[in-house]
Amino acid sequence: VSSSAVACVLVAAGRGERLGDELPKTFVEVGGRPLVWHALRALARSTRVAVVAVVVPAGYEDKAGELVRDAGEGMSAVVVAGGATRQESVALGLAALPVGTDIVLVHDAARCLAPPDLFDAVAADVADQHDAVTPGLAVVDTLKQVDGSGRVIATPDRSALRAVQTPQGFRHDVLARAHAAAAERGDHDAPDDASLVERLGLPVHVVDGRPEAFKITRPHDLVLAEAVLARRGSDNPTGARRRS
Ligand code: CTP
Ligand code: MG
């Protein structure tokens, strides 16, 4: 089982409009290193991931190659330019993976502090039992469904809801089929990869997510990321450190 070839598509090609920096979000720094560097470092420290397709905005390929060399600890990686939507960026990354990939993880570089053992746990769950796996956390806020004017329509039962994260893991053939079917339907803007598998009518399994796999979306999230890195300190599982 553990001999399955595991690859990861690391999507880093978004603009980061909600963060509002001039740089693409994944090239903004925390702890003195770009978000995508932290994500690459965690992937390099995963024991199961053998190869990574890094998907970056057009024009950032060379910079990404440098980050792979610096963070990758000899990791095998290919860098490709992304698309207009996250879904298209994932598809471009999938197309760049080597033939013979059995299991593929898809990860948001914006979740740059997701720990190495989360990649391993998701890959193991795909290898051992499930075709499609996503980490998820219980929802802490009460959620309201609203209409266009802000009027509350419903209060869904929170106990049945999960806030899902990445890395999501799939049998490669299942994810490839899910993306092909979406393209055929004319869908290009899926919120995540698991939802494309759901559309095939196939089961998706939720495993325990990790608070540190939160997504850097708005400026406040950078404050949180700095705090997480500071707490990791010198005994630091992703090797992130401040430049002096
Ligand atoms: N992503 C991508 N290609 C796109 C859009 C998003 O590779 N066309 C990636 C982002 O770089 C990020 C992940 O998908 O790592 C999750 O997307 P999100 O957090 O929404 O990032 P952005 O799209 O960059 O941010 P925003 O929506 O605020 O513009
Ligand atoms: Mg986005």
Supply the DSSP string of 71-134, one letter for each residue.
HSTT-EEEEEE--SSHHHHHHHHHHTSPTT--EEEEEETTSTT--HHHHHHHHHHHHHT-SEEE
Is any ligand 1 atom within 6 A of the Cβ of residue 55?
yes
Write down the pLDDT at residue 73: 87
pLDDT per position as a tens digit, 41-96: 999 999 999 999 999 999 999 999 999 999 998 899 999 999 999 999 999 999 99
Query: What are the φ and ψ backbone dihedral angles of 108, each rounded to 5 degrees?
Result: -80, 120
Distance 87 CA to ligand 1 centre (A): 10
pTM: 0.95
Model confidence at 2: pLDDT above 50: no
Distance 11 CA to ligand 1 centre (A): 8
Is any ligand 1 atom within 6 A of the Cβ of residue 217?
yes
Mutate which of 8, 9, 10, 15 for ligand 1? The one with the most ligand atoms within 8 Å of its CB, which is 15
- Asked whether the beta carbons of 28 and 16 are under 8 A apart, the reply is yes
Q: Of ligand 1's atoms, which has the minimum distance to the CA of residue 215?
A: 19
Mutate which of 8, 86, 215 for ligand 1? The one with the most ligand atoms within 8 Å of its CB, which is 86
Q: Of ligand 1's atoms, which has the minimum distance to the CA of residue 35?
A: 15
Q: For all residues of the chain together, what is the average pLDDT?
A: 94
Is any ligand 1 atom within 6 A of the Cβ of residue 57?
no
Q: What is the rounded CA–CA span in Å between residue 158 and residue 161?
A: 5
pLDDT per position as a tens digit, 193-223: 999 999 999 999 999 999 999 999 999 999 9
Is any ligand 1 atom within 6 A of the Cβ of residue 58?
no
Q: What is the rounded CA–CA span in Å between residue 22 and residue 12?
A: 15
Model confidence at 225: pLDDT above 50: yes
Distance 166 CA to ligand 2 centre (A): 14
Neighbours of ion ligand 2 (CB under 5 A): 14
pLDDT per position as a tens digit, 9-35: 999 999 999 999 999 999 999 999 999
